[in-house]
Structure 1
Amino acid sequence: MAASIKDVAARAAVSVGTVSNVLNRRVGVSPDVSQRVHDAIAELGYVRNDAARQLRAGKSRSIGLVLPDIGNPFFAEVARGAERRAADDDMAVLIVTSDGDAAREARLLELLLEQRVRGVLISPASEDLGAMQRLADAGTAVVLVDRHSAGTPLPSVAVDDVAGGRLAVEHLLAMGRRRIVFLGGPLSARQVSDRLEGAREAIATRDDAALEVVEQAGMTVQHGRAAGERLRARAVDDRPDAVFAANDLLAVGMLQALSSSGVRVPDDLALIGYDDIDFAAAAAVPLSSVRQPAAALGFTAVDLLLADDADTDRSHVRFQPELVARASTAAD
């Protein structure tokens, strides 16, 4: 039978209240007594029922984080930032992956609510924010991550992706490139459509430049490699002279396909990605990219969630992206 808090108190020769004070790190317990309690816990293998304690207290020490793809280093860094901030308040982050599927996302939200999470951080799988709004209306704190929600009462933390798309294509234009492909998808994803909007704004400033849109079903290395193989199969005079990939994984896949077929980056084709994940700088040809402060997104999202839980004003935080020029666009 599992040891109880009463067993720990008896072994340490203290009251149950003292054991509780030690477990909850309250002041007023001498180092000697605290050590006896911890020794008793170790000897008995005691594990407290934190779920029951949280139900009695009415507050959870866990936060749900719903991401579309934890395999993407960008979202892994968002999660790391969230965990770092949550740890400051002695809280844990429960990370689940929706795979960009709205139905799966709905099931995961139900599961997190059953776990009595303090609140939910979510990068939504679709434009429909109805489920998130209903959660908030029912009293569960919700913060949108990597998604701006101005015009709604839902707090959000995001990057200005329109500005990011504009930065990427302005850089390519400044490097003398005029036949540019935008690679990304699905275009229904807000982040992708915003980056495309910024790219179009930049192209519109030049009468001698053109933007071709190549939509992919996803944003993985495999999708980028497939797009690169189709591009290299074109006649030489039908190829673009630059590609703006909507994330770095697509850019890495594109680089792999081009390099294996003798298309030289950046001589024949300049290539820029988005997110500035670690793989970008470490690629065979270091990739130019548009940097997002991924860890800061996660850290700030937890800040907003806990502030919202404390009844302070809801807010929308929008970071500005940063251009990082490397060898793939002929940067010095």
Structure 2
Amino acid sequence: MAGSKPMTAPVTRDDVARLAGVSSATVSRVYNRPSAVLDKKREAVFRAAKQLGYTPDLNASGLRRKGSGSVLLVLRPPSRDVYRWFYGEALIHAQAALAGTCYKLLFNIWDGREPFARFLAHNKCDGVVMGLGTFDESVVKALESAGLPYMLCSQTELSSVSRLCYIDENAGGAVAAKALLKAGCRRPAHITAMLEKNSVCAARWEGFRSVLRKAKCEPVLITAPELGVRGGREAVRRLVPLVKRGEVDGLFVVNDLTAVGVMQNLVKSGIAIPEELALVAYDNLPFRETVPVEMASVDVSIGKLYQTAVEMLAEELRGERKPGEPIRKRIVPTFVRGASLPEK
């Protein structure tokens, strides 16, 4: 027809590959698994795609796989305390793991009242990531019966499951011990609670004690009546005399929230932090910077836990792992500096 513009062929992945000087497979990886491509090549692909006006059809990729193109993240109902902050960390990092890929993130809460098989039927997806505290043996059986790829997230290593991403809380306790030793502390103490009932607390204590014993230091164990601010306040009753007699010069508190109570009553007792007592807490919650003396803490690495679990699942969905093969990924907590621990 006179005056009409000639039709142009759509830009393809091969066109982008030629301009960027990479293979077609590399272009595919950039949009499906960007972390697996070198920065230089990834940037070259993005430049070429922008120059050519190329946009990958992520929905079409999902249709070709005959799947929903989605990954389901299952979390337990949010707590009413400061630990609900972990929900944001989980969602942000799970989404980051899928950014630029052919998959979208679905999120739902399961409180355990509805049979899990029915819950799954109401949440169509290609694979499932089960969050902390959301699964037991019956849930794992339901996932396997449904034939869905899945990953489980835990704060401790579980020998009974084969597809697990877990936080090494024992290593986290060791991180706290090494930080105190590096600061020159040789008479450390640990405030915790529920050691016989809480496997996370027990693992942190075991990791802490193990490192110190190797350094010829025997830590003092102070058991609070409960975890949290009130428990921390109560634990200080036993701690203060030990500090004043020079029997304790460093302290590891099992979590940041308990450490708040500890710090409150230490201030009331006239004990200066870190001059008289160095302190390391655990979790790296946002408020640690707002207390009178900024807490040194161990980052529990919740975000990294969920991001890694989603990445492992996405690899299987893309065919980069054998279906159903055992996966165990260990996340090691890291130290975060704070004024409560002197630098030496």
TM-score (norm 1): 0.66
1:1-332 to structure 2, matched below 5 A, reads: 59=68, 61-67=70-76, 69=78, 71-72=82-83, 73-88=85-100, 89-96=102-109, 104-105=111-112, 107=114, 109=116, 112-118=119-125, 119-125=127-133, 129-138=136-145, 139-147=147-155, 149=157, 151-152=159-160, 154-174=162-182, 175-185=184-194, 187-214=196-223, 217-218=226-227, 223=228, 225-234=229-238, 236-238=240-242, 240-310=248-318, 312-313=321-322, 314=325, 315-331=327-343
Deviates more, 1:206-215 or 1:172-181: 206-215
Contact 2:116 2:142 in 1 (8 A): no
Unaligned residue ranges in structure 1 (runs of 5+): 1-53, 98-103
SS at match of 1:327: coil
CA distance in 1, matches of 2:271, 2:133: 35
Deviation of 1:58 (Å): 5.5
Distance 1:113 1:60, change over 3 A: farther
Deviation at 1:185, TM superposition (A): 4.3
> Following the alignment from structure 1 to structure 2, what is the Cα–Cα distance between the partners of residues 244 and 153?
31
Q: Tell me which amino acid in the other structure corresponds to 2:236.
A: R
Q: Alignment RMSD, CA only?
A: 3.4
> 2:331, 2:129 → 1: CA distance?
17
C-alpha separation in 2, matches of 1:109 and 1:262? 53
In 2, Cα distance between the equivalents of 1:74 and 1:216? 25
CA distance, structure 2, for counterparts of residue 144 and residue 263 of structure 1 = 43
How far apart are the structure 1 equivalents of 2:277 and 2:259?
12
Q: 1:227 to 1:114 in 2, by over 3 A?
A: same
- Structure 1 residue 60: Cα displacement: 6.3
CA distance in 1, matches of 2:150, 2:225: 30
Tell me which moved more, 241-250 or 192-201.
Answer: 241-250
| Alpha-carbon distance, 1:130 to partner | 0.9
- Give the conservation status (yes or no) of the 8 Å contact 1:67–1:75: no
The residue matched to 1:328 in structure 2 has which SS?
coil
Q: Which residue of 2 aligns with 1:19?
A: none
Cα drift, residue 165 of structure 1: 0.6
Question: Contact (CA 8 Å) 1:155, 1:304: kept in 2 or not?
Answer: no
Q: Distance in 1 between matches of 2:233 and 2:195?
A: 19
Shift of 1:95: 4.2
Relative distance call for 1:216 and 1:235 in structure 2 (3 A) is closer
| SS, match of residue 165 in structure 2 | strand
Matched residues in 1 for 2:239 and 2:285: separation?
32
**How far does the alpha carbon of each residue in 1:49-107 deviate from its partner, in whole angstroms, 9 at most, with x for none?**
xxxxx9xx66363513224756423453122101232454452331437xxxxxx4464
Q: Secondary structure at the match of 1:116?
A: coil
Shift of 1:152: 4.8
Moved over 6 A (4+): none
Deviation at 1:237, TM superposition (A): 2.3
Taking structure 1 as reference, are residues 245 and 155 closer, same or farther at Cα in structure 2, changes over 3 Å only?
same
Output the TM-score relative to the length of structure 2: 0.64
Cα separation, 1, equivalents of 2:279 and 2:176? 10
